[in-house]
Amino acid sequence: MVNKILDVASDEGTTIDELADVISYDQGMTNKLLRLANSVYYGQRTQIDSVRRAIAVIGFDEIIGIALGMNVLSSLTAKESGLSLDMKALWIHSIGCATAAKEIASRIHPEISGKIFIPGLLHDMGKVILSVYFKDEYRQVRTLAMDKQEPLFRVEREVFDLDHAVLSGLLMKRWQFPDHILYPSRYHHNPSACPSAYREYAIILNLANYLCHKANIGHSGNPVSVAVKNSTRKVGLNEIALKLILDQLRVKEDQIKTFFNITTD
């Protein structure tokens, strides 16, 4: 199923009907997406009763991101126990980050507001891999980060010689994710190193990540969150707009949790 979704995501010529056909093949995913389209998160007044209409409500690129997220992250964590990360809190954080990234983009570059949702949702995939496959080591990393009050990605580099963002990028490259998903995820802690075509995506993601921490939406496992210096100015936002987005995130917390409950049910 993931491969089919990635094929759709990689082909700019894919139509809504073709995407609907791919999703309809999985009845469980279909049911979740219909419930999501009818949820308070999207606030529709009329009943959404078809996958095609759900795509129209949720958005073409967002549907792809949600479908990928449900398949990739949920499958990795479904039967795992004893992890150092709270996967529920991490997934809520990721939904919040995607929500914030879309809101930031809608104010400065509306044309990318749908596409930025996907890396927002999947940017911390590397943390899942580290937590699942290196349980003891990652528990030590988290403890060290909390003791030193340092951002998690910096301590990851000290211990593993790479951080979760780099690992996310490596996985996405192996799985042939499109560049507009891969590069913002890979460079969300280091946007200046991101290829220029996707640098603004990475800055938006970095800022959205920071705002989610400020709003206490879920938890990424990071004891300290830092935004890139002058990130607000770099994306063309003023402090008033930033505060409005932060306030909106806090107001949407219950909606974000409803999003989580539907997609992980």
User: Can you give the pLDDT at residue 139?
Assistant: 92
* Residue 82 CA neighbour count, 13 Å, CB half: 5
The model's pTM is 0.90
Side chain identity, residue 260: F
Confirm if 9 and 64 have CB atoms less than 8 A apart. Answer: yes
* Structure token digits, residue 36: 């999501």
**Tens digits of residue pLDDT in 175-210:** 888 899 999 999 999 999 999 999 999 999 999 999
**Tens digits of residue pLDDT in 19-57:** 888 888 888 889 989 999 999 999 888 899 999 999 999
**Tens digits of residue pLDDT in 6-21:** 777 777 788 888 888 8
In CATH, what is the architecture of 2-264? Orthogonal Bundle (1.10)
